[in-house]
Chains A and B, each alone.
Chain A
């Protein structure tokens, strides 16, 4: 039984260039692109009159103008939605905090000492936004305490640092319970670190090609990893054993996201296809083809208590934010 998803809304030209990264809070969607600005759309808007152009479900509520002069490649938020972090192409890393009213303001910046691109590449924040993990071009994982990052902080102290074998770190994630950090690398290696002991817990085999996304399941039981090998590998985070391979993508997999319950996994491919996978059945249950343009980022929107059906959003080279909702009645 496959599932049906319908495109409910699109925001064309949400950015003037490729949208490289998306992040969500319970009420907002943050998007980062090759342009210098970060845009924030509310996900709590209501359709009043569908025909009126300025009233739609995802109104733009804030633009952080010219914050990353060379463009921004990664953005992430903490689960509580209060903290965000963004990384720019010139190597700078910025921390943002959200006020009660939903307005974001800068809360610190790390400027890399060595001017090397990729010093900080992907980012992940812990549940309460206290810890920020980022992998580097030489395979390290730096962990910062975001409270220690000063407004113009140049010498931000590293909270801790995990060493790997030196392959470019392409993806990173912190588990929801804060106990684990995972990284995926150019050479296909995947590591899980135990945050309380600061030790390597598992070195996971299986993908030989670049790992472009690693994501812990909401209950921290599984780790999903995917990339140029075109398969999604599922690992048990306790034993480190690979428990499943999800095959079906015909192209590189650029991003992954678990839904709130951990029942479904969303993946976006270089060929513009987004797929939804059922964990129970270990197979693809829906495929959405928006265009042939690369989907840099796909993300579930947090499920509102009132909403019956879940919504996800895709973004990429098409510069469009596209929203999909599960068709009712199934």
Chain B
């Protein structure tokens, strides 16, 4: 492990000289944005030709690195027992240099054609980590581990003086079983994230940090841990996050059997791209064609949206349905579009397709559905124009909790309500009780999901359905068929 990074750094020093000769703009850009975490800025001032040249260099460096690694492999391993972390003694390069290196590995999706070498190298780096761990285990080492570079945190963006005071590039070693339980956990988290990245790179899909979190919420504990380690790993590998096929989440997506006619005369068919398109702004929309749409399904999370849109049964469903996600608590645009689609008007051909909500089984899932359905408390004054009262609760419901059988994956998907969940549920119950001070049976109906959740003291993420093959398909076909017939 350590050797890899040393070589990376060594290669980088050579690289910065080359690059400044070849393309002064590159080096300048690299210095300007040396502290930036955003990969978008890396494209600034670049022509395709530049990138092509850069690629050649990056490849060459890769090869060189491989050779040095092979040559030097033995030396540090011998010294390992005495000096467990040789990295600290190694000289660190200018920070501008590694930022410049990022130019040679642009993995952003707009350059997909040429993104193959850096992506595979990211894959290679992950596999190198795995191999190292596997080797250590085979060699019977008492502890396995991996190293992460610590991102410099204190320097504000773009205010770094031209490389005169380079911050030390610090490394942290995470061992397993490690000295403390926390270290073992951190090691597990990093390893799991690497595994998910590896899966994403190998299958060529893009995974969001949110999705990563929901793949194993019990392990990660909170989204911020995932965010932090994803960025740490990208920093350690010296690649932009997108080169690891990891993205942050943007708002509002739609995919399905409808077409949108914009005011500028263009027509967009939302089923054209399985990835979905970003939610259009209603201001730009002249009308929508919903003639083929039999139902609209609102999905709480992008992860589930993608997993449905990428599944084989979506081939059948995509001709008759529309899938929408607001990615958590929806923004106004998403809610406005949903209402626009569901409420008969001249703009949508007087269609009123039934709409269904597929949410997590937790207080937030129910709250999100209620935002779509009745509006949010924060924007109560605008709610009348945004709500979709006929929205029906498709899942997850308490009766779906045992769908996955007794497998370990299922029991991992079921979580205990936290104190925050319980108090949120109770506040929601109180709000319902005060809002509907009338018909007793109606009131009881809307409270039931919350009460049952509190009684069971259990919540579940939509990913529960992904854990068991065919589970999501079964649920959707059962529920939607009941409605389309």
Contacts and interface: CB of A to CB of B under 8 A. Distances in A.
A35 B429 CA distance: 12
Interface in B400-456: 401-402, 406, 411, 416, 419, 422-423, 425-426, 429-430, 433, 440-441, 444-445, 447-448, 451-452, 454-455
B402 A90 contact: no
Residue among B423, B455, B457 with the highest chain A CB neighbour number at 10 A:
B455
A157 interface: no
B402 A89 contact: no
B451 A20 contact: yes
B447 A71 contact: yes
B433 A16 contact: no
Contacts of A90: 426, 429-430
Residue among B401, B423, B444 with the highest chain A CB neighbour number at 10 A:
B444
Contacts of B401: 270
A237 B287 CA distance: 72
Nearest to A186: B416
A293 B411 CA distance: 20
A73 B448 contact: no
Contacts of B448: 17-18, 34
B419 A116 contact: yes
A170 interface: yes
B429 A89 contact: yes
A251 B401 CA distance: 11
A17 B457 contact: no
Contacts of B452: 18, 34, 317
A34 B444 contact: yes
A117 B423 contact: yes
A92 to B, nearest CB: 12
A125 B109 CA distance: 65
B416 A70 contact: no
Given A17-B445, A116-B423, A89 B457 contact: no
How many of chain B's residues touch chain A, expressed as a range?
20 to 34
Nearest to B442: A16
B202 to A, nearest CB: 35
Nearest to B424: A117
How many of chain A's residues touch chain B, expressed as a range?
20 to 34
10 contacts: A33-B444, A34-B444, A34-B447, A34-B451, A70-B426, A115-B426, A117-B423, A117-B454, A230-B406, A270-B401
B444 A16 contact: yes
B426 A270 contact: no
Dominant secondary structure of chain A at its interface with chain B: loop
Contact of A116 (B422, B429, B444, B451): B422
A251 to B, nearest CB: 6
Interface in A254-287: 270-271
B402 A70 contact: no
Contacts of B416: 168, 186, 210
B447 A117 contact: no
B444 A89 contact: no
B402 A170 contact: no
A69 interface: yes
A210 B457 contact: yes
Interface string A3-19: 00000000000001110
A252 B455 CA distance: 13
B402 A270 contact: yes
A71 B455 CA distance: 12
Contacts of B422: 116-118, 137
A214 to B, nearest CB: 15
A21 to B, nearest CB: 9
A137 B433 CA distance: 23
Contacts, number: 77
A184 interface: no
A251 B416 CA distance: 17
Contacts of A35: 440, 444
A209 B412 CA distance: 12
A296 B456 CA distance: 10
A12 to B, nearest CB: 14
A17 B444 contact: yes
Nearest to A34: B451
A129 interface: no
Nearest to A170: B457
Interface in B93-138: none
B419 A137 contact: yes
A33 B444 CA distance: 10
Contact of A271 (B402, B406, B429, B451): B402
Contacts of A292: 399
B430 A16 contact: no
Contact of A18 (B426, B433, B451): B451
Interface in A20-61: 20, 33-36
Interface string B171-205: 00000000000000000000000000000000000
Nearest to A252: B402
Given A270-B401, A317-B452, 9 more contacts: A17-B444, A18-B451, A34-B448, A89-B451, A91-B426, A118-B422, A168-B416, A168-B457, A271-B402
A252 B399 CA distance: 12
Contacts of A115: 423, 426
Given A137-B419, A170-B457, A16 B451 contact: no
A294 B451 CA distance: 13
B457 A70 contact: no
The 3 closest A-B pairs by CB, nearest first: A117-B426, A17-B444, A117-B422
Contact of B454 (A73, A186, A252, A296): A73
Contacts of A70: 426, 429-430, 433, 447
Interface string A114-152: 011110000000000000000001000000000000000
B440 A89 contact: no
A73 B402 contact: no
Interface string B453-467: 011010000000000
Residue among A18, A35, A116, A117 with the highest chain B CB neighbour number at 10 A:
A117
B442 to A, nearest CB: 9
Given A116-B419, A117-B423, A16 B441 contact: yes
A131 B141 CA distance: 59
Contacts of A18: 448, 451-452
Contacts of A117: 422-423, 425-426, 454
